[in-house]
Amino acid sequence: MKFFVDSADLNAIAALNDIGLVDGVTTNPSIIAKSGRDFKDVIAEICKITEGHVSAEVVATDAEGMIAEGRHLRKIADNVCVKLPLTMEGLKACNTLSREGTPTNVTLCFSPNQALLAAKCGATYISPFIGRLDDITLDGLELIEDIRTIYDNYGFETEILAASIRNVNHVKDCALIGADVITAPPAVIENLSKHVLTDKGLEAFMKDWAATGQSIL
Ligand code: E4P
């Protein structure tokens, strides 16, 4: 399973990358706005931290405009992945850009049928949003399961990039279902390492070791 960081926080991305936990990065217009920085500068800097795909989202709403923006964004770095909304115009742009060899991430997916369309249009990634479905009392994980089944039924190569991940249980459940990628905020990825018994056990080991008066080096 690939781990993408859902963030434009360069320090947080670099810290996780140093540990070996970053296979790529996703951004969206809200994340870029929150960074307070120039869109293209931030994407260029993220692309230097990781060799993996870095999703940069178009903001045009017509296919022609999305294609032009996508081609422009691709000039920033070879690992830019053009992120497109799941609309008929976005699918049209996905089809054109994918045929040109541009990596594409179709975002704002909330139904299995939407995911089917993205795969048919050659998307590299489909981004189903788990948390936002849970927010309205629907089942985000059921969506991931349904897409997994449909893609496996027909051998679609589009990767399921589980997005809008809010907690560590979402990550575990996505791994059990077989999502290809998860994208999560840095804090969620950090929390994956935590367990109260790990902390308690380490504290006891350190205390007992100190009592021996020995050193390893
Ligand atoms: C994914 O690509 C999106 O940027 C992100 O996961 C959305 O998450 P949110 O619903 O927590 O805003």
| pTM (two decimals) | 0.97
Query: What does the pLDDT look like over 104-132, one tens digit per residue?
Result: 999 999 999 999 999 999 999 999 999 99
Q: Residue 81 half-sphere exposure, CB side, CA atoms within 13 Å?
A: 26
| Residue 96, token pair as written in the block | 């054109």
Which pLDDT value is given to residue 204?
Answer: 98
- Ligand 1 pocket, residues with Cβ under 6 angstroms: 6, 26, 28, 107, 127, 129, 131-132, 163-164, 183
pLDDT band at 28 (very low <50, low <70, confident <90, very high): very high
Query: What does the pLDDT look like over 126-139, one tens digit per residue?
Result: 999 999 999 999 99
Q: How far is CA 149 from CA 132, 141, 155, in A?
A: 21, 13, 10
pLDDT band at 43 (very low <50, low <70, confident <90, very high): very high
For the chain, the average pLDDT equals: 98
Which pLDDT value is given to residue 76?
Answer: 98
- Region 66-84: mean pLDDT is 98
What residue owns the CA closest to ligand 1's atom 9?
A: 164
For the chain, list the domains and their CATH numbers: 2-191 (3.20.20.70)
Q: Which atom of ligand 1 is nearest to the CA of 184?
A: 6
Which pLDDT value is given to residue 146?
Answer: 98
The answer to whether residue 200 is catalytic is no
Please check whether residue 145 is in contact with residue 133, taking contact to mean a CB–CB distance below 8 angstroms: no
- What's the CA-to-centroid distance between 33 and ligand 1, angstroms? 13
Which pLDDT value is given to residue 88?
Answer: 98
Which pLDDT value is given to residue 66?
Answer: 98
Catalytic, out of 2, 34, 83, 120: 83
What's the sign of the alpha-carbon dihedral 204, 205, 211, 217?
negative
